[in-house]
Amino acid sequence: MAGQALGPLNPYQVIGPEQVRIQSPTPLQQRHKPTNAEVAEQVMHSHRVKKLKDSQGAGVVTITDADVAEAGKSKFRVLEAAAGPSLADLNRSMDEMKANLKAGLEEIRMQSTNTRICMYNSQARRPEHQLRPLVVQKAGGPQNLGDVPTMMPGGIFPHVLDDLSNITAPQLVQLRTFFHEDFGIQPGETHAEKVFKFRLFIGC
């Protein structure tokens, strides 16, 4: 037997004779990708609302233009969520990727600068030989990439090689904070060991 064709949607049969506002589907959770069933439910809801608005006669639920508009918006939101990220989301992701790439390249540039400074500092042999301060090469600390510490006396970075012999524990802490680096220092190490690792960090 051939299947019987479906007739047009009858709001009276679907909703019933009570004069009540049509019930909307359960709202989707934020960042939730709707299932096929949820998409179908929202599409059918929008269709029913429009059919009810166009219907006349007793026993038909009262539907306003605002109801139709809201159902249409809900359908659009569900279809958009099912389709995947919006263009705005993709643009935001792309901007974040560009910012991260730019920051990474800037860190590499600062590391290259410090490599040249360390080569210069490695030539210091006598106590009076001057040193050059390194630049901040690691993002995320209190300073900006490329910032340079002030020199001793009065500052925290050794001005000459002999200053490394007199560097204090508080100055080492200030240097670690400024550069956002631990210099490879481990808990329990002596002050002399900490100074030695700082010397390796600056190239001498």
Per-residue model confidence as pLDDT tens digits over 9-22: 333 333 333 333 45
- Spatial neighbors of 202 by CB under 8 A, at least 6 apart, are 117, 118, 121, 131, 134, 158
Entry pTM: 0.54
How much is the pLDDT for 201? Answer: 95
Q: What is the Rg, in whole angstroms, of the alpha carbon atoms belonging to the chain?
A: 35
> For 138-163, how does the pLDDT look when each residue is reduced to its tens digit (9 = 90+)?
988 999 999 999 998 889 999 999 99
Return the structure tokens found at 199.
């010397």
Domain-by-domain residue ranges, the chain?
A: 11-83, 108-202
Of 106, 107, 117, 110, give the one whose Cα is nearest residue 157. 117
In eight-state DSSP terms, residue 143 is S
Would you say 181 and 138 are in contact if contact means Cβ atoms under 8 Å apart? Answer: yes
SS3 91: helix
Is the torsion defined by CA of 122, 106, 197, 129 positive or negative? positive
